[in-house]
Structure 1
Amino acid sequence: MGELETRRGAAPTARQSLFLVFCIGNERYALQATDVVEVLPRLPLKPIARAPSWVAGVFAWRGTVVPVIDLCALTFGQGAEPRTSTRLVLVRYQGDAQQAGQVLGLILEQATDTVRCDPADFKPYGLDNRQAPYLGPVREDAHGLLQWVRVNDLLDESVRALLFPATPLDLDDLGATP
């Protein structure tokens, strides 16, 4: 059989996407690479007074103040381990369709690997977890289950208002208390 006949008889290739894989404890999660702006080493952050404990702080990036959340602390209540594989991953965040997208920092453990797969391989896992709407469908592979984290569902309205106020954050004002 010639190459042309082989191509015609082959199944169409699935739509593949790249995902950044990371861990929370022993569990694997993934962010779609199109959501990722940049992957940085863990950097010092300026804390935000009276913010939820999982809001790690802010830092200046390319002239912009970027809020950072610790995804381990948000999900399971314990901060990310300070490992050499713990990264500060900047993502495009648009929690409200009426607002322009923002850059949000995520502290992620073991964020050193990627996987390429068809997004349709991720399937609902049967639970309606309203406390963690960002935890999306799962995909099974040779390493177990991989859960898709949906960036735009990470923050509820009150935290979104704290981290992305109508007036942009100013580094000099963040430590002030009323």
Structure 2
Amino acid sequence: MLFLLFDLDGDRYALDAAGIVEVLALAPTKSIPGAPAWVAGMFERQGAAVPVIDVSQLALGRPAQQLRSTRLVLVHYNAGDGVEASTREDSGEPVNLLGLIVERATQTRRIAREQFAESGIATPHARWLGPVANDGVGLVQWVEVQQMLTNEVKALLFPQAEAVQPAAGS
């Protein structure tokens, strides 16, 4: 599998390249009042608003550094809404775009799925931290994008998902 590697204060993390739509230079975002601090805001892509998460703020409690290697990575995100123009060709599932601001995103690496193993550490407040692998350079942890947003944040960033959910008791 191919991964885009990025860095959080010296620790390395990996995004599955199969879920990446585009890697962009850091772009300005419009804030979203009432959103958690780690929601950097939204930006416009091809006429559509795309919510953006600051992964450094989410993981470390500080905003991403404005480095040359800081990138805005657009990923497929299945909000479970059933309402989206694009679908993943491999699964037919509806997807939304989600932007991730990541630091030091300068390398890709092939790592076999079998090399990853559970860390053995429970991270209930960071469900998005997946298994770890040693790629010969050191440990790298797989970031599970689909686990990044709580239901409350999903409802804020992808309100169309709430609109199509059946009402309780119906």
* Shorter-chain TM-score range: 0.7 to 0.9
Contact between 2:79 and 2:158, CA under 8 Å: does it hold in 1? no
The corresponding residue for 1:136 is 130
Percentage of identical aligned residues: 46
TM-score by length of 1: 0.81
Number of aligned residue pairs: give it. Answer: 152
Is there any run of 5+ residues in structure 2 with no aligned partner, and where?
A: 84-93, 162-170
Cα deviation for residue 97 of structure 1 reads 7.8
Q: CA separation in 2, counterparts of 1:48 and 1:145?
A: 35
- 1:155 counterpart (135, 141, 149): 149
- 2:77 counterpart (78, 82, 93): 93
User: Is 1:127 matched with 2:121?
Assistant: yes
The corresponding residue for 1:84 is 68
Q: CA separation in 2, counterparts of 1:24 and 1:68?
A: 17
Q: CA separation in 2, counterparts of 1:23 and 1:74?
A: 13
- 1:41 counterpart (10, 13, 25): 25
The amino acid across from 1:164 in the alignment is F
Q: CA separation in 1, counterparts of 2:117 and 2:35?
A: 34
Cα deviation for residue 96 of structure 1 reads 3.1
TM-score by length of 2: 0.85
Is there any run of 5+ residues in structure 1 with no aligned partner, and where?
A: 1-16, 168-178
Cα deviation for residue 79 of structure 1 reads 1.1
- Relative distance call for 1:97 and 1:152 in structure 2 (3 A) is farther
Contact between 1:124 and 1:137, CA under 8 Å: does it hold in 2? yes
Q: CA separation in 2, counterparts of 1:98 and 1:64?
A: 17
- Relative distance call for 1:67 and 1:23 in structure 2 (3 A) is same
The amino acid across from 1:136 in the alignment is G
- Report the secondary structure of 1:128's partner residue: coil
- Report the secondary structure of 1:66's partner residue: strand
Q: Which runs of 4+ in 1 moved over 6 A?
A: none
Cα deviation for residue 95 of structure 1 reads 4.1
Cα deviation for residue 143 of structure 1 reads 2.1
Contact between 1:95 and 1:155, CA under 8 Å: does it hold in 2? no
The amino acid across from 1:144 in the alignment is G
- 2:12 counterpart (20, 28, 48): 28
- Report the secondary structure of 1:143's partner residue: coil
Q: CA separation in 1, counterparts of 2:142 and 2:122?
A: 15
Bigger radius of gyration among the two: 1
Cα deviation for residue 142 of structure 1 reads 2.6
Contact between 2:51 and 2:99, CA under 8 Å: does it hold in 1? yes
Q: CA separation in 1, counterparts of 2:33 and 2:149?
A: 18
The amino acid across from 1:162 in the alignment is L
Q: CA separation in 2, counterparts of 1:96 and 1:75?
A: 24
The amino acid across from 1:61 in the alignment is R
